[in-house]
Each structure stands twice: as structure tokens, then as C-alpha cells.
Structure 1
Amino acid sequence: MASIEVAKKESTPPPWMRRFFTLWAGQAFSLLGSALVQWALMFWVAVTTASPLDLAIAGAMGLLPQVFLSPFAGAYVDRHDRKKVMLFADLLTALGTLILMLLFVAQAIALWHIFIVMFFRSAMQAFHWPAMQASTALMVPKDHLARITGLNQSVMGLTSIMGPALGAFLYVALPMYLVLGMDVVTAAMAITALLVVRIPEIRKPKGREKTPILRDLVEAFRYVQAWKGALLVVAVFSVVNFLITPAFTFFNLLTLYHFGQGPYQAAFMDVMLGAGMITGGLILGMWGGSKRKIVTCIGALASSGGGVLLIGVLPPDGFLIAATTALFIGTGLSIVNGIVMAILQKGIRADMQGRVFALLSSLSSGMAPLGLALSGPFAAVFGIQAWFIAGGLIMVVVSASLFFVPVVLNIEDHIAEAVAIEQ
């Protein structure tokens, strides 16, 4: 009997795992709905306008709020209940999608409506993302963070596969307003999970005066500045985002007008990219990376740059090679994102994670809207492939140079200070 009781005890998942994966499951369904709707909206813009500039504007609308709002949103997250922040962000995102549904039903939709809703959804994500990342670091033991981030990358890859695949199928089979309705349904699932899960909070000293938000942001910047190598890594990822975001935004146009394919093939490109993200996440989840995880990260980033370059030089009959290369790129970027997130979650003090994550996100993604703004006119003059060629070359050179920068190679030596947590 004693041995049976011990076996049952060992097979029972620990409390943190039950709480976290309940929350995680709800967010996974929400990600799927968002990916489906995002693909459908971007494809609608591509088919309706056939304009690289309009696609670039749509992409920028999805990024600008996160660049400018994220630092303030992160400071807000550190001051308030992170669970409530995520609840309101999910609710308001669903409301924005519902308004867009009604416009399609009334046949009153215009391109600028799409831009506004994309802008609003991005603004809500600026609050939701730092709250979720900071909550993950509080719910998951540090020894499991690298594997959890690898799992998260796999889920993102799975949604990248299922989102475009379902998006393409539903785009052809259903009216657009019903396609958008999937986002409302999955948001409701995420909200339900949030309502039933207890998320730990930082124990805040009683009687402490609230400081101005700008002072919180200055404190966050000084914290990152004191972490040698962190700002340089952020600068590198700013360059990568400048290059890779327009490339992914142009996937639909590249498939339709360079490779001469249709909507299912366009979705297949995104599916292969997502399959790569799953593969990379599984590799990281099982392996965990090299002893110096940043070395694995740099190598994966350089390899992804080589894949971007290859897509740029392919002839019009090279669609299958491009799709296979998208799988390779997704694998590399998934490993990169997972490792960087794990390093940050381990190295940032728990009571500052909201504002620091948001600040780093704003700094690293801030170049993406500029890339989109420049890539549209650039592609109109030189062609979409030229952006892939230039971007791939720069990614390879910048990534390889990091192997010779000691402060980057030693970034994992930083240890975060402990703070009191309310379970």
C-alpha cells in the first residue's frame, strides 16, 4: 500500500504545473484565433489592394502601439494586478474584432477600418505580453524556464501552422465576418482560464508612495544598462526585426506574384514557417541549448539569415525550395526567441519584469515599423527579392560578429536579486 501511495504522489503534477498549464492552454487557444484572423486580414489586404505599401502599412499598424505603448504598459503592469491586466486586454481585443465583424456584415468595410483595428489589437497586446511574461516567471521554477519557453515557441509554431491553414480554408469557405468570429470564441476561452487560475503577485510594501511612471522607466533602463551585454543584444535584435518583419510581411506577395501561386500555397509558406517554430521549440524543450545558451542562439540566428538570403535568390519556379527554407528559418528563430526569453526571465528581478520586458520589447521591435515604412518603397523600386537578399546578408554578418564580443558571450553570468512573492 505504501508503495502505491508513493507512486500516486510521484505521478501527481506539482501545483505550479496545474496552475500554469491551465492558463497556458487558454492563451494557446487565443493565440490560434489571433493567428487565424491576422492571416485572413493580411491576405484580404493583399488580394484587395495588391500593394506592398498597403501591406507594409497594415504591418506597421500592428507594431507601432507596441513600440510606443509598451514601456508605459510595462510600468503599469508592475504596479497593478497582472491577472486583471490580461483579462481587460483580452476583453477589449475581442470587442475590437466584434466591431470589425459588424462592419463586414453591413458591407461597410474600408481599408482604414482594418488599419484601426490592427492598431487597437496591437495596443492591447502591449499590455498583455509583459503581464504574461512576468506572470510566467512567477509561476514556473527557474530550472524549467528554458524548457517552458521552448514549449511556448512550439505552440507559437503550431498556431502559425494552424492559423494560416484554417485562415485560408475559412477565407474561401465562409464570409469574412464568420472568420473573424473565431477570434471572439478563442478569446472567451482565454478569459475563462484566467478567471479560474490564481497568479502570484509581487509583495508590495505597505505605505510606499507611488513614483511617477517615467521614473519607473528610467529605473528599468538603468537596470538593463547595468547588465553588461544586454543592451547590445537588444540592439542586434532591433536590426533583425528591421529586416525580418518586412520579409515575413511580404511572404503573401512573394508567393502570389513571384512564384505565381494561390492562397493555399501562400498559407503553406506560413505553415512551413510555423512547422519550423514547432521543431525549434521541441529541440530547445528537450535539449535546453548548449552550456552557454547564447552560443546556440547566435548560431541559430546566423543560420536563419542564410535562409532568408536563399529565398531572395530563388527563381520563379523555386516555390518548394522556398517553402522548405521557411521551415529552416522558423526552426532557427524559434531557438533564438526561446533562449533569449529564458535568459531574460532568469536575469530580471521579479518586481521589475513587467517594465523591463516592455522596455526591451519596445527597443527591439522599434525598428520593425521603420523597416516596414522603408521596405514598401524599396520593394516597389527594386523588387521584393532584393529585400530578402540584403536582409539575409546583414543577418549573417551581424550574427557571426557576436561570437567575438565577450560581453555578449558572458550575458548569462548576470544573476537577478530575490524578492518576496505572494502565492
Structure 2
Amino acid sequence: MTESQNPAIQAPPRISGAFWTLWVGHAFSLFGSMLVQFALVWWIARTTDSATALSMATLLALLPGVLLGPAIGALVDRWDRRTIMVVSDGGMASLTFGLAILAATRPLGLGPVYAVMFLRSLMETFHWSALQASIALMVPERHLARIAGLNQALSGALNMIAPPAGAILLGVLPLPGVLMIDVLTALLAILTLLVIAIPRPSQGIAARPPWWQEMLEGLNYVRRWSGALALMGMGALINFAVNPAFALLPLVVTRHFRGGALELGWLESAWGVGIISGGLALGAWGGFRRRIYTTLVGLVGMGGALLTLGLLPPNAFPAALGLMFFGGVMNVITNGPIFAILQAVVPPNLQGRVLLVMGSVVGLIAPLGMAIAGPVADALGVQIWFLAGGLACALIGILALRIPFIVRLEEQAPAWNPEPDRAQ
């Protein structure tokens, strides 16, 4: 992968056609990933009936972004972003194909499934960073919040479709057949990437420092941004409490609501419908003028939905569907403005690094939550994590409204001048 020789590229005056082609390809890739995730998580839940086994699967999926995020971000800012996405999609397809062959020829164990989930997560981290870092150069700043909402709506639409589709497919196809669908969607995503050019800011190769020094530039940029540091601390606490809840959702279905794969699919679809609705609403509305207010209102709303879900009795499955829908809406209202803020104020040359530095720090405590989630859920019940996650979201959202450097996050983003750091 080589550095482009083009001069620094600014965002276009309107959304480019290449962006929409990229967006369609991303939709294919995301659908296949969601289908594989559903199939493997359900296979683990039905094979082991263990909260610890499900927690371990989620932990392995979190680790690449947490441990390697800053380094991956630095590499994404150096390499051609289209090539990164092509290689990532191809690698994920190869892993899924290998697992399908293994499952078709011999009894499948947890080890290969865990390994594939870990490696797919590593490649998804590259893909996600390259995609997010490309958006600000293909979309005008005034449309970033709307595109963030549209991306959330896409995620919700696929989250609505993929789980029930996975449940139905698992009823008529063996696991290898379901996995092969991901291989097909990855190939379609690669084809869309091959017909477009993705712009990126460029520096002369000779002027560039080593990749590890560029990684430190991303760390230093975030370190000087007090509002971002506070936001990362909030995100870390939320991930610690909320990630286990969704990792254990299959066992909430089987143990608490006494359901099966279809009920799990309906719950995840309700979340997806909520994400679509929230994404469309955010896309049309754009949020409050101060975008962080939109995020904090959404966080309080999502906390209320999760807390109530944790209190439901076993015969209240229809209410659970409604709460998952509302939680999905609030999830978009929470996350969409954050991406818009980062894409609007972080220099394009730094976006890959900053996005993954922040993602790594936010996810840093999540593995601890996943490590204790299984034993705690087996001892106290799987709904305990919905109570903890809901309470954390609501309290953090309310308290953050009273912290000035969080409220003024956008105005306090530091200027970027890499030369002093490079001269050291």
C-alpha cells in the first residue's frame, strides 16, 4: 500500500457519487458480518448454554480494537483507504470460508469459532477506521450529522433484517451454508470498492515520520482535548456496563423469556427498527445546534429503556420488543452526533488515528466487564446487566450536562501542528 501523490484533498461542495457507491458496498459487507455474528453467537448459546462462553466470544471481538486501535489508526492514515477496505473484506471472507469448510467436514469446537471471531474483529477494525476517515473527504461538513444518522439507519435496517434472516436460514440450512452467504456479500462489497477512487489527504512520502510517531501524534492530540478525554471516560464506563447486557441477550431470551432463535431475532430486529427510525429522524432533524446536547439526551433515553427492560417479568416479551425499539432510537441519537463532531473538527490527516485512539480508550475497560459478566450473570441472573447498563447511561448523561468542557467539546478541540512533536 503506498501513499497517494495527490495534493491535500478537501471535502467536496456536495456529496460525491463515489460516496454512495462506497455506502452500498459497505451495506453488503455489514449485512454479511451481522449474519455471521448472529449465526455464531446463537451456535455458542445453544451449544454451551453458558454466559461465560458468550462473554468470552464478545471479549475476543473487543480485544483487537482495544489493544491495537491506535496502531491501526496510524496505519490507516498512511495507507490507501480503499485498499484497506478491499483487503479487510477479502480477509473476512477467507476466514468465514475456512470456518464453513471446517464445520462441514468435522464437529466444530469453540476454539476455531473464537479464533475466527477475533481475527474478523481485527479486520473489521481496519475496515471501520478506513471508512470513517474517508467520509469527511467525500461529504460536506454541513451534511456530516445527516450522514451519521443515515449510517445508523443502515445499521438498523440490517440489524432488523439479519437476525430474523439468520434464524430462518439456520432452520433450513446447516451452519456452513449460512456462513457462505457472508462470502458472497464480501465479494459484492469488494466489487463496489474496485470501481471508485477514495480521496485522502496526502503528504510527501519523504516528509512522513515513522508510523509509530504518527500514532503518538494521535495520542497527543486526544490528550490535549479535555472534552474528548471526559467523553472517553464516560464511554468506558458505559461500555463496561452495557456491553455485557447485549452479549448475554441470547440467554435473556432462552432463560428469562423462554424463547428460541426467532424470538432473539425479533428482539434484535426491534432494536434495528429503532435504529432506522432514529437514523431517519436524526438525518431529517440534524440534532441540536450544539451537537453534544443531542448525544446526552439520547444517552439518558437509552438508559431508561435498558433499565426498564431489566425489570420486565418473563411474560412481558411484547414490552421488551417496544423497549428494544426505543433503545435503538436513542442509540442513534447518542452516537450519531459524536461521529459528526469528530469528522467536523478533527483534521482529515488525523481522523483515522483519533477515531481509533478514542475507540481504544473507550473500550479499554470493556474486557473487564466481559470477563466478569458470565460468572455474575450465572450467579445473579442475566438481566442484572440491563439494570446496571441502564442506570449507568442515565446517570452519566444527566451529570455530563453540568460539565462545561463536555458541553463545549467542539469549541475546545486543539489545533494540530505535528512539527514540534516530530522534531523531538
TM-score normalised by length of structure 1: 0.93
Gaps of 5+ in 1: 1-12
| 2:420 matched residue in structure 1 | none
Amino acid at match of 1:182: I
TM-superposed CA distance for 1:75, in Å, is 0.6
Whole-angstrom distance in 1 between the partners of 2:400 and 2:207: 42
TM-superposed CA distance for 1:221, in Å, is 1.6
Whole-angstrom distance in 2 between the partners of 1:256 and 1:385: 12
| 1:312 matched residue in structure 2 | 310
Whole-angstrom distance in 2 between the partners of 1:66 and 1:296: 26
TM-superposed CA distance for 1:189, in Å, is 1.0
TM-superposed CA distance for 1:16, in Å, is 4.1
TM-superposed CA distance for 1:108, in Å, is 3.4
TM-superposed CA distance for 1:412, in Å, is 1.9
Note the 1:20-99 alignment, pairs <5 A.
20-99=19-98
Note the 1:25-174 alignment, pairs <5 A.
25-174=24-173
Note the 1:232-381 alignment, pairs <5 A.
232-381=230-379
TM-score normalised by length of structure 2: 0.93
TM-superposed CA distance for 1:80, in Å, is 1.2
SS in 2 for 1:260: coil
Whole-angstrom distance in 2 between the partners of 1:29 and 1:300: 28
TM-superposed CA distance for 1:391, in Å, is 2.2
TM-superposed CA distance for 1:15, in Å, is 7.3
SS in 2 for 1:329: helix
- Residue by residue, what CA displacement relative to the aligned partner does 1:125-161 show, whole Å, maximum 9, x if unpaired? 1211111111111111111111001000000001111
| 2:396 matched residue in structure 1 | 398
CA contact (8 A) 1:346 1:416 kept: no
Amino acid at match of 1:367: I
CA contact (8 A) 2:70 2:356 kept: yes
Whole-angstrom distance in 2 between the partners of 1:96 and 1:241: 27
Q: Which has the higher mean CA deviation after the structures are superposed, 220-229 or 14-23?
A: 14-23
- Residue by residue, what CA displacement relative to the aligned partner does 1:50-91 show, whole Å, maximum 9, x if unpaired? 000000011111111111121111111111111111111111
SS in 1 for 2:314: coil
Whole-angstrom distance in 1 between the partners of 2:260 and 2:200: 49
Q: How many residues align?
A: 406
Amino acid at match of 1:207: A
CA contact (8 A) 2:75 2:211 kept: no
Q: CA RMSD in A?
A: 1.6
Query: How has the CA–CA distance of structure 1 residues 29 and 52 changed in structure 2, closer, same or farther, with 3 Å as cutoff?
Result: same
| 1:3 matched residue in structure 2 | none
Amino acid at match of 1:273: W
CA contact (8 A) 1:36 1:162 kept: no
Identical columns (%): 40
SS in 1 for 2:206: coil
Amino acid at match of 1:122: S
TM-superposed CA distance for 1:334, in Å, is 1.2
| 2:387 matched residue in structure 1 | 389
Whole-angstrom distance in 2 between the partners of 1:287 and 1:416: 28
- Residue by residue, what CA displacement relative to the aligned partner does 1:245-292 show, whole Å, maximum 9, x if unpaired? 111111111011101112111110000011111111111000000111
Q: Which has the higher mean CA deviation after the structures are superposed, 359-368 or 50-59?
A: 359-368
TM-superposed CA distance for 1:14, in Å, is 8.1
Whole-angstrom distance in 2 between the partners of 1:391 and 1:363: 18
| 2:422 matched residue in structure 1 | none
Gaps of 5+ in 2: 1-11, 418-424
